[in-house]
């Protein structure tokens, strides 16, 4: 009965707003959460909760889902004179009037609003697609934690209840957390072939006495997913880890943790916030998929790494938002002879004080290779160490940086340092790097960080060499750079060799929804358009994509392939979405297509995914233009 009443409550609170241009899904309020004093957010004039993170209230976030085309209005606590809405590469046109900032979205985005007058608090905006993989509460092998006696008010510690329920789940089972606040002090130990689902409005938080950690060690085939959050409550524990000067040191539990073999794991959709210092350390993993993860930490403390994998093989980090003060990603390898095959793509990285957005190293393992960093936005907060850092205590080859954009690069931007004072081995090590490609690197304005230079490459002895570095279409402030001299890169030592600057011949591929709705009742067909730019169009180009969304391919709409071919001589090709004639569902469903990487054929562009709505509603009043969609259900 308890579960039924809770589900009924969720159906009332988690509603869809049928507004003139789109569908908006808002989420239940997290109990006892701190609401921002600076920002209110309205999506199609429906209010969306804005949460402040941590005691310093220097960052807040809002979280909602939508389909179609929406208008976002941010109401600020004072008249707005200045603001910065990032990433700039999305080309979002915003405007402000009085204390309001407004803009439109027709595809899922993760945005950062900062530099609003002199307000300290930043605002992270998570505009997700409707969730396509939510389990049904009390469904087969889906167990509600409330039915196990858990308290969802945050007043009592549920660790033993959660662990006992997780241990007793059947293989393939899902432990479901309905909306509410669940206190758990200590380690939640993930179990192989079992998953945790955090529904919207559900939060697991540390207790007053004990830190919280979700531990994936030795767990295989597990999943942590949903639209809820995990709160490390770092404010409670930082005083325990301060040095004599009052600075928070690198100590305390990370929220996401693995220190022993873990394979075939997924983290998807959740918000992880307010870590003590580092948010995650995941070591010795294979085949991890991290999708649509949002990490948000305050800017007062300077050791907030976000995602720190060590010896991670076949890891995909895709469509994530990592906001902290130190390294957004710090990727380290301790073991030799690893083919990493790891990709970080389609994500937004912010570091507010120091460190890097993407850091390779400390690197101790020898003969390791293959990392791809593709289609990311690197947002700098000022006074940074550098943007792209390589700290080498071992040898690495075959690194590819494809279509990366850097905003606010005020300090050093590219640093290759061929030695590392090793934390792990306890002594300094030297290393080497070869075959590093930057294909399309865009810098808003160059820095003057490393001895007054934009970048610095070090290779000072035969054991510490750097060779075969290629820049293709490297732009600073819109100016194409043609040599290390024009790019202002300092070369240190005679063992840096073969640094080249050239033009890219690999096309960028973008996808957009050029008709946002498919409906048989109005004889409308949805349409995606895949476009290539740069390179030759003389040959056909096969573009692969992932099909997601709440609509089922071949059931809710006529089946489409997982690829499209742009014909020779053409710059684009269309993917048509036709509602299945036998589909009588009167609700709306979504089709979300995301471009997949092809290592040699093309590079993913800033418009890496797009969404079409499938609906069978008679009163649609729409054209097939992107700028004038859709209908109102109010007659």
Reported as a single tens digit per residue, the pLDDT across 91-108 is 999 999 999 999 999 999
Per-residue pLDDT band at 373 (split at 50, 70, 90)? very high
My answer on whether 243 and 316 are in the same domain is yes
Q: What is the tally of structural domains in the chain?
A: 3
Last residue of a domain, one of 128, 156, 182: 128
Average pLDDT, the chain: 88
- Count of CB atoms situated within 10 Å of the CB of 426: 7
My answer on whether 161 and 299 are in the same domain is yes
Q: Which residues, in sequence order, are CB contacts of 246 under 8 Å at separation 6+?
A: none
Query: DSSP labels for 417-433?
Result: ESEEE-TTTSSEEE-EE
pLDDT for the residue numbered 86: 96
Per-residue pLDDT band at 586 (split at 50, 70, 90)? low
133 in a domain, yes or no? Answer: no
Task: Name the residue among 137, 138, 135, 188 with its Cα closest to residue 158.
Answer: 188
Q: Which residues, in sequence order, are CB contacts of 207 under 8 Å at separation 6+?
A: 157, 159, 183, 184, 185, 186
444 in a domain, yes or no? Answer: no
Instruction: Write down the pTM of the prediction.
Output: 0.92
Per-residue pLDDT band at 83 (split at 50, 70, 90)? very high
CATH assignment at residue 90: 2.60.350.10
My answer on whether 6 and 92 are in the same domain is yes
CA distances from 129 to 66, 153, 196, 372, 401 (A): 6, 28, 20, 26, 27
Kind of pairing, strands 496-502 and 466-476?
parallel
My answer on whether 201 and 96 are in the same domain is no
What is the rounded distance in angstroms from the CA atom of residue 584 to the CA atom of residue 618?
Answer: 11
Q: Whole domain around residue 534: which residue ranges?
A: 508-615
My answer on whether 260 and 362 are in the same domain is yes
pLDDT for the residue numbered 427: 57
Last residue of a domain, one of 365, 390, 406: 406
DSSP character for 111? E
Last residue of a domain, one of 371, 406, 441: 406
pLDDT for the residue numbered 325: 85
The DSSP H or E segment spanning 76 is strand 70-76
Reported as a single tens digit per residue, the pLDDT across 228-267 is 999 999 988 888 887 777 777 767 899 999 999 999 999 9
Per-residue pLDDT band at 56 (split at 50, 70, 90)? confident
Take residue 279 and report the two structure tokens written for it. Answer: 């948010």
CATH assignment at residue 577: 2.60.40.2030
What is the rounded distance in angstroms from the CA atom of residue 53 to the CA atom of residue 205?
Answer: 13
Kind of pairing, strands 122-128 and 109-114?
antiparallel
My answer on whether 98 and 149 are in the same domain is no
pLDDT for the residue numbered 451: 64
My answer on whether 116 and 187 are in the same domain is no
Cα-only R_g, the chain: 24
My answer on whether 331 and 199 are in the same domain is yes
- Count of CB atoms situated within 10 Å of the CB of 451: 9
> Which contacts qualify for 485-488: CB closer than 8 Å, 24 or more apart?
487/454, 487/455, 488/446, 488/453, 488/454, 488/455
Higher pLDDT, 410 or 261: 261
My answer on whether 258 and 281 are in the same domain is yes
Higher pLDDT, 50 or 521: 50
Say how many residues make up the chain: 635
Q: What is the dihedral of CA 548, 550, 555, 558, to 10 degrees?
A: -60
623 in a domain, yes or no? Answer: no
CATH assignment at residue 397: 2.160.20.10
Average pLDDT over residues 488-508: 94
Take residue 354 and report the two structure tokens written for it. Answer: 């120091």
Phi, psi of 234 (to 5 degrees): -55, -30
454 in a domain, yes or no? Answer: no
pLDDT for the residue numbered 449: 60
Highest mean pLDDT among 94-108, 128-142, 345-359, 413-427: 94-108
Q: Is the pLDDT of residue 38 over 70?
A: yes
Q: Is the pLDDT of residue 565 over 50?
A: yes
Residue with tokens 């997949």: 596
228 in a domain, yes or no? Answer: yes
Range with the lowest mean pLDDT among 72-81, 185-194, 339-348, 489-498?
A: 489-498
Query: In sequence order, what E strands does 145-275 have?
Result: 153-157, 174-177, 180-183, 186-189, 195-198, 202-205, 212-215, 223-226, 229-231, 256-258, 262-268, 271-273
My answer on whether 155 and 272 are in the same domain is yes
My answer on whether 69 and 113 are in the same domain is yes
My answer on whether 109 and 183 are in the same domain is no
Average pLDDT over residues 456-460: 88
Task: Name the residue among 527, 517, 513 with its Cα closest to residue 629.
Answer: 517
In 296-329, which positions are buried (b, 16+ CB within 10 angstroms) versus exposed (e)?
bbbbbbbbbbbbbbbbbbbbbbbbbbbbbbbbbb
495 in a domain, yes or no? Answer: no
Cα end-to-end distance, the chain, whole Å: 37
12 in a domain, yes or no? Answer: yes
464 in a domain, yes or no? Answer: no
Per-residue pLDDT band at 582 (split at 50, 70, 90)? confident
3-state helix, strand, coil in the chain (%, to 5): 5, 50, 45
């Amino acid at each position: 009965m308890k579960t039924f009443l809770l589900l009924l409550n969720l159906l009332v609170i988690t509603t869809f707003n049928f507004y003139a241009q789109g569908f908006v899904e808002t989420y239940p309020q997290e109990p006892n959460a701190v609401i921002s004093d600076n920002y209110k957010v309205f999506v199609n004039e429906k209010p969306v909760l804005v949460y402040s993170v941590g005691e310093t209230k220097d960052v807040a976030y809002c979280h909602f889902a939508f389909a179609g085309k929406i208008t976002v209005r941010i109401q600020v606590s004072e008249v707005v004179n200045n603001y910065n809405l990032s990433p700039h590469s999305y080309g979002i046109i915003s405007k402000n009037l009085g204390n309001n900032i407004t803009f439109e979205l027709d595809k899922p985005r993760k945005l950062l609003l900062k530099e609003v007058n002199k307000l300290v608090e930043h605002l992270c905006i998570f505009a997700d697609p409707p969730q396509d993989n939510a389990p049904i509460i009390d469904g087969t092998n889906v167990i509600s934690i409330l039915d196990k006696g858990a308290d969802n008010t945050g007043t009592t510690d549920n660790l033993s209840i959660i662990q006992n329920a997780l241990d007793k789940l059947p293989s393939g089972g899902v432990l479901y957390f309905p909306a509410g606040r669940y206190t758990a002090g200590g380690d939640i130990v993930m179990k192989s072939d079992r998953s945790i689902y955090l529904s919207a409005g559900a939060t697991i938080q540390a207790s007053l006495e004990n830190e919280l950690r979700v531990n994936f060690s030795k767990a295989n085939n597990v999943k942590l997913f949903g639209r809820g959050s995990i709160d490390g409550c770092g404010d409670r524990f930082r005083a325990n880890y301060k040095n004599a000067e009052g600075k928070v040191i690198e100590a305390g539990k990370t929220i996401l943790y693995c220190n022993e073999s873990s394979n075939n794991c997924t983290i998807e959709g959740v918000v992880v916030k307010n870590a003590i210092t580092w948010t995650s350390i995941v070591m010795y993993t294979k085949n991890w998929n991290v999708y649509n993860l949002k990490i948000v930490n305050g800017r007062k403390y300077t050791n907030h790494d976000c995602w720190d994998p060590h010896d991670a093989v076949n890891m995909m980090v895709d469509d994530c938002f990592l906001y902290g003060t130190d390294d957004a990603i710090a990727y380290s390898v301790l073991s030799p002879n690893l083919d990493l095959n790891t990709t970080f793509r389609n994500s937004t990285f912010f570091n507010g004080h120091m460190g890097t957005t993407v850091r390779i190293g400390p690197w101790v393992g020898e003969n390791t290779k293959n990392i791809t960093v593709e289609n990311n936005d690197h947002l700098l907060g000022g006074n940074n160490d550098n943007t792209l850092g390589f700290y080498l205590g071992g040898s690495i080859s075959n690194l590819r940086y494809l279509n990366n954009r850097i905003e606010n690069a005020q300090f050093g931007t590219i640093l290759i340092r061929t030695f590392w004072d090793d934390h792990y081995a306890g002594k300094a090590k030297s290393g080497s790097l070869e075959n590093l490609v930057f294909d399309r690197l865009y810098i808003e304005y160059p820095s003057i960080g490393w001895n007054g230079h934009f970048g610095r490459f070090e290779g000072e002895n035969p054991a510490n060499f750097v060779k075969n570095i290629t820049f293709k279409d490297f732009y600073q402030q819109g100016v194409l750079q043609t040599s290390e001299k024009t790019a202002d890169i300092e070369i240190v030592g005679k063992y840096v060799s073969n640094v080249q600057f050239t033009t890219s011949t690999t096309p960028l591929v973008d996808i957009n929804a050029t008709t946002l709705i498919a409906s048989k009742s109005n004889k409308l067909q949805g349409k995606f358009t895949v476009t290539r730019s740069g390179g030759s169009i003389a040959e056909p180009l096969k573009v692969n994509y992932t099909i997601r969304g709440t609509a089922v391919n071949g059931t809710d709409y006529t089946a489409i392939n997982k690829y499209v071919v742009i014909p020779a001589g053409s710059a684009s090709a269309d993917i048509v979405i036709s509602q299945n004639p036998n589909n009588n569902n009167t609700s709306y469903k979504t089709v979300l297509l995301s471009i997949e990487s092809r290592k040699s054929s093309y590079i993913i562009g800033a418009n890496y995914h797009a969404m079409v709505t499938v609906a069978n509603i008679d009163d649609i009043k729409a054209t097939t233009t992107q700028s004038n969609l859709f209908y109102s259900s109010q007659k």
